[in-house]
Amino acid sequence: MSNIPDYRGRSAARLAAVQALYQLEMRGETVPKLLTEFHNHRLGQEIEGAEYLAADEPFFDDVVAGVAAREAELDELISGGLAEGWSLNRLDRPMRALLRAAVYELVARADVSAATVINEYVDVAHAFHDAKEAKFVNGLLDAVARKVRG
């Protein structure tokens, strides 16, 4: 087996992580229960005619568990990148989940380049939001990346 990461699997893991983090905020489930649900019923499965891509499960687990463990730190970094007068609570839940996952990668996953993190989460933003929000994601993540990675 190769040590080269499966980039399609990581892309799928990122999208699934945002969905899982949204669900975590909505339902308040435990992380282990949520991970088990996604492993058994979502990742690589067909649901209501939509096929979910196989995801890099260890990467997915790391992002979801890492965000849950470091949420306050991540929220502080995100809040620092918001325009004056804006707070994290003004963002919708899918946007908060996306930004937390992306900032977690910027902080904790030095094995992934900042450019890759930003590009991948801008792509994820397009799945949930329009172009204006995707540009917002790009700008905020760029600012956070400069702060945490130099």
Annotate 86-149 with DSSP letters as a single string.
--GGGS-HHHHHHHHHHHHHHHH-TTS-HHHHHHHHHHHHHHHS-HHHHHHHHHHHHHHHHHHH
Tokens of 140: 């905020």
Residue 61's contacts (CB-CB under 8 Å, 6 or more residues apart) are 35
In a domain, 1, yes or no: no
Instruction: Return per-residue pLDDT of the chain as tens, 150 residues.
Output: 444 455 688 999 999 999 999 999 998 889 999 999 988 877 877 655 556 667 899 999 999 999 999 999 999 999 998 888 888 888 999 999 999 999 999 999 999 999 999 999 999 999 888 899 999 999 999 999 999 998
Q: What pTM did the predictor assign? A: 0.90
Is residue 29 in some structural domain?
Answer: yes
In a domain, 138, yes or no: yes
The angle that helices 93-108 and 57-69 make with each other, rounded to 10 degrees, is 100
In a domain, 88, yes or no: yes
Rounded Cα–Cα distance for residues 146 and 84 (Å):
19
Question: Residue 54: is it exposed, middle or buried by C-beta count within 10 angstroms (0-12/13-18/19+)?
Answer: middle
Residue 95: inside a domain: yes
CATH of the domain at 129: 1.10.940.10
Question: Does residue 115 lie within any of the structural domains?
Answer: yes
Domain assignment of residue 132, given as a range:
7-149
Whether 2 is covered by a domain: the verdict is no
Domain count, the chain: 1
In a domain, 96, yes or no: yes
